């Protein structure tokens, strides 16, 4: 099974497990934005963190 972006961002230390859970809760509650969009909007990560994840897959 492929790693999900939230799991990868936690794995590389770009965000915490609590932050990941908050985003998943928002999505479960109806937020239709992508995981990365929510994470950036909440200030948990920046575009560089996403690039770091992509480069460390």
pLDDT in tens, 34-48: 999 999 999 999 989
Which residues touch 33 (CB under 8 Å, ≥6 apart)? 27, 41
More confident residue, 23 or 56: 23
Question: What is the rounded distance in angstroms from the CA atom of residue 13 to the CA atom of residue 34?
Answer: 20
Q: Domain range for residue 46?
A: 5-55
pTM of the predicted protein model: 0.88
Please state the domain count of the chain: 1
Q: Does residue 57 carry a pLDDT above 80?
A: no
Q: Does residue 1 carry a pLDDT above 80?
A: no
Question: What is the rounded distance in angstroms from the CA atom of residue 28 to the CA atom of residue 31?
Answer: 7
The string of pLDDT tens digits covering residues 13-42 is: 999 999 999 999 999 999 999 999 999 999
Question: What is the rounded distance in angstroms from the CA atom of residue 2 to the CA atom of residue 7?
Answer: 10
Question: What is the rounded distance in angstroms from the CA atom of residue 20 to the CA atom of residue 12?
Answer: 13
Torsion over CA: 42, 55, 10, 27 (sign)? positive
């Amino acid at each position: 099974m492929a790693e999900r972006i939230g799991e990868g961002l936690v794995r590389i230390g770009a965000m915490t497990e609590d932050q990941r859970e908050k985003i998943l809760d928002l999505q479960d509650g109806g937020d239709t934005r992508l995981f990365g969009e929510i994470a950036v909007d909440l200030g948990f990560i920046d575009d560089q963190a996403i690039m770091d994840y992509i480069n460390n897959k």
